[in-house]
């Protein structure tokens, strides 16, 4: 199993304890030509989480997609992933409707993030708080 991102793959960093995040990851599909999708639980330490933290990206405030050596964060991440997705299936069609443009993602991503935060609070799941952790080394 690969643990290091490379330019030919898509890396989706998500909260493995969040039921909404896990469900999203279960259903998201990317076109084969776009590359292979790797799911990374942000609650597990690793080089990609170190890179995200070093970039000052708060994983509790936005998902991250790494593609072509670039980190996409928050609404940009979900928009990029949506544009790489297959057009088939109800889930991907709905995703394209809500996140397929910068404007739509800018409106719907904060709403979905607020719902996620509410679900975590109700379920008693702590935030990841990657920016509060000591840097490795």
Task: Kindly report, residue by residue over 51-103, the tens digit of the pLDDT.
Answer: 999 999 999 999 999 999 999 999 999 999 999 987 778 888 888 889 999 99
Question: Which alpha helices (H) appear in 55-101, and where do they start and end?
Answer: 75-84, 90-99
Give a yes or no: residue 84 inside a domain: yes
Q: In what order do the strands lie in the sheet with 64-67?
A: 36-41, 9-14, 64-67, 70-73
Please provide the average confidence, as pLDDT, over all residues in the chain.
89
C-alpha radius of gyration, the chain, whole number? 14
Give a yes or no: residue 2 inside a domain: no
Count of CB atoms situated within 10 Å of the CB of 137: 4
Give a yes or no: residue 135 inside a domain: no
Residue 1 has pLDDT above 50, yes or no: no
Give a yes or no: residue 47 inside a domain: yes
Domain count, the chain: 1
Give a yes or no: residue 130 inside a domain: no
Which range marks the domain in which residue 43 is found? 10-123
Give a yes or no: residue 134 inside a domain: no
User: Which residues, 6 or more positions from 21, have their beta carbon under 8 angstroms from its beta carbon?
Assistant: 14, 15, 63, 116
Q: Which pLDDT score is estimated for 6?
A: 55
């Amino acid at each position: 199993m690969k643990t290091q991102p490379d330019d030919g793959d898509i890396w989706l960093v998500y909260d493995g304890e969040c039921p909404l995040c896990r469900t999203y990851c279960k259903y998201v599909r990317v076109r084969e030509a776009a590359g292979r999708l790797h799911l990374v639980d942000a609650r597990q330490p690793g080089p990609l989480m170190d890179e995200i933290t070093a970039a000052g990206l708060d994983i509790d405030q936005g998902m991250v997609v790494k593609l072509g050596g670039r980190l996409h964060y928050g609404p940009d991440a979900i928009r990029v992933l949506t544009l790489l997705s297959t057009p088939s299936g109800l889930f991907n069609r709905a995703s394209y409707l809500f996140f397929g443009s910068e404007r739509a993602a800018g409106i719907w991503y904060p709403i979905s993030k607020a719902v996620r935060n509410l679900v975590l609070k109700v379920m008693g799941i702590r935030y990841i708080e990657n920016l509060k952790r000591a840097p490795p080394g």
